Amino acid sequence: MGKWNAESRPFARRPDNSAFKQQRLPAWSPSLTPHTVLPVFYCLALVCLLLGIWLLITVQNTHQLKIDYTHAGLCPRCSEIREDPTKAEMSCDCVVNFNVPKAFPGDVFFYYGLINFHQNLRRYMDSRDDAQLVGRKNSLKSPSSYCEPFAYDENSVPIAPCGAVANSMFNDSFTLMYHPPAGAAVTVPLYRKGITWYTDKNVKFRNPLTNSTLQQAFQGTAQPLYWQKHVYELDIADPNNNGFINDDLIVWMREAAFPNFKKLYGILNRSPTLFTNGLPAGNYSVNIRYNFPVQYFQGRKELVLSTVSWFGGQNNFLPIVYLVSGCLIFITAIILTVVYMKVGRNGKNMAA
């Protein structure tokens, strides 16, 4: 049998005679000329500027008030107690007075904020057991190795919920008081449930299935090292808001992307007549159960009262980005126009 010779088959590697393989498909090759490019630049600049102005007006129509209570009011004493490890078990309450200069109309959201707390560290974010948080009993008694060193307590009892994220859960509590011009102080009612994402509350967090009480379901587990309560008694007022489906726990377990962040604590209950239209202007105070220490990471704590729009809360970042981008595009379009007018359509004035 003779040796195969490619030259004897000159058409063996020729592509099929089709429109696709022979590149005969219809195509559009745009011709970039000043008459097509410059209008695009001007239109894009106009769109960015209009979007930026619209978003900026939307953001300015929202209301926001921040109160740093790390050392405010009567809280310096509590801050000093939290800095002393020998007094870690002591409870401390403080009061911070503030003024709302302008009424907050509509729904008002009550947040707590932390400054310089990095929830976005990879080792911190991985320190949790999602199988445990959906109520699997085998994970309840045998936490994941990712939870170390917060998987077992000093007596080798498994911790529920385990991990650094749950162990560092924010545990200050607040009672907001309104002081009307005439009359006694009134407690501002807040919805403390229904503040989580639906998928978190109904999919990612579930209590262990049991025919007994929730306390018995968590029997044989220990509370996280820095917690003052067990997971089944986080909300004494509402037994149905305990365990892994506690709203405060779920909100905290969704890690923040930046070191300065705020998380939802409650929503204004507008059913009382005094708060039907929102939060009235005037004098307020907040009673704080001061538990969460911040000196270890040189951080600060704050309260945030805010209204929201379809765009969200008061954040000027995106409107400013649109405005700056629109201005830069507009300036670029002007420069290109001047160059075009100076050089000429055929480029006769350009240096050889």
- Model pLDDT for residues 115-135, shown as the tens digit of each residue: 999 999 999 999 999 999 998
Residues 294 and 185 in one domain: yes
215 and 147 in a common domain: yes
Mean pLDDT (the chain) is 88
Same domain, 83 and 193: yes
**Are 130 and 245 found together in one domain?**
yes
Any domain includes 19 = no
302 occurs within a structural domain: yes
Of the given ranges (52-56, 79-83, 312-316), which has the lowest mean pLDDT? Answer: 79-83
The predicted pLDDT at position 138 comes to: 82
- On whether residue 94 sits in a domain, the answer given is yes
DSSP string, 31-80: ---HHHHHHHHHHHHHHHHHHHHHHHHHHHTS-EEEEE-SSSTTHHHHHH
**Is the same domain home to 190 and 200?**
yes
In a domain, 104, yes or no: yes
Tally of domains in the chain? 2
Q: Report if residue 3 sits inside a domain.
A: no
Together in a domain, 297 and 165: yes
Domain residues for the domain of 330 are: 34-62+315-346
338 with 194, same domain: the answer is: no
Same domain, 285 and 326: no
The yes-or-no verdict on residue 86 having pLDDT over 50 is yes
- My answer on whether 295 and 238 are in the same domain is yes
| Same domain (yes/no): 216, 257 | yes
The 3-state secondary structure of 177-235, one letter per residue: EEECCCCCCEECCEECCCCCCHHHHHHHCCCCCCCCCHHHHCCCCECCCCCCCCHHHCC
57 & 134 share domain: no
Does residue 58 sit in the same domain as residue 74?
no
- Tell me the average pLDDT across 221-234: 90
| Residue 352, pLDDT score | 42
Q: Would you say residue 125 lies in a domain?
A: yes
